[in-house]
Amino acid sequence: MTAQSEPDLRIGRVLKAHGVKGALRVELLTDFPDRFAPGRQVDIAGRRMTVAHSEGQDGSLLVMFDGIDDRSAAERLVGLYCTLPLADARTLPADRYYHFQLVGLTVLDRRSARTIGRVAEVLAYAANDVLRVTDGDREVLIPMLRSVVRAITPEAGTISVDLPEETGA
């Protein structure tokens, strides 16, 4: 990524090819599954793709794209992300943030009044997201729970947390 380029907004990840007609099993990485409605466009590895068909199935989506007509073509997309330009990000409700908005913020522990580090990435888990916070060689994993994350202030560049004492951070 160059200094001028913006990161893409990841909305899905191709898990595997499905069947012989080019269908793909896609893991949703968005709260807006309509991004995969027929006729919508997404980018995969820099290639603009048009959704021909999609349906929810087993907690993921089964998606067919125009021009991907056989299993061989579909298999070349396995493991890749479905993205949109960051400019296409939808406005989220108050107190909701895209992961990219959290990366780089400074995490402050309110109880000890000290800086823990900066958010290196946000890990997505079924139960809740987790902030991976680094400070040099030290790494702390902080669950994104209301009882722990007390305030997120992107305009100030900070996240305030109340860490449980057993964390040892």
Show Cβ contacts of residue 137 under 8 Å, excluding neighbours closer than 6 positions.
none
Task: Output the CA–CA distances (angstroms, integers) from residue 105 to 99, 101, 123, in the order listed.
Answer: 11, 8, 15
Residue owning tokens 């900066």: 118
Domains and their CATH numbers in the chain = 9-88 (2.40.30.60), 99-167 (2.30.30.240)
Residue owning tokens 């560049």: 157
Q: What is the pTM of this model?
A: 0.70
User: If you compute the radius of gyration of the chain from its CA atoms, what whole number of angstroms results?
Assistant: 19
**Rounded Cα gap, residues 84 and 82, in angstroms:** 7
State the sign of the Cα–Cα–Cα–Cα dihedral 94, 98, 101, 105.
positive
**Rounded Cα gap, residues 44 and 120, in angstroms:** 24
3-state secondary structure of 71: helix
Token representation of residue 20: 């012989």
Q: What is the DSSP letter of 140?
A: E
Measured in whole angstroms, the distance separating CA 161 from the mean position of its chain's CA atoms is 21
Alpha helix stretches (DSSP H) within 11-168: 71-75, 99-102
User: pLDDT tens track of the chain, all 169 residues?
Assistant: 333 455 688 899 999 999 999 999 999 988 889 999 999 999 999 999 999 999 998 778 999 999 999 999 999 999 999 999 988 888 888 888 888 889 999 999 998 889 999 999 998 887 899 999 999 999 999 999 999 999 999 999 999 999 876 555 5
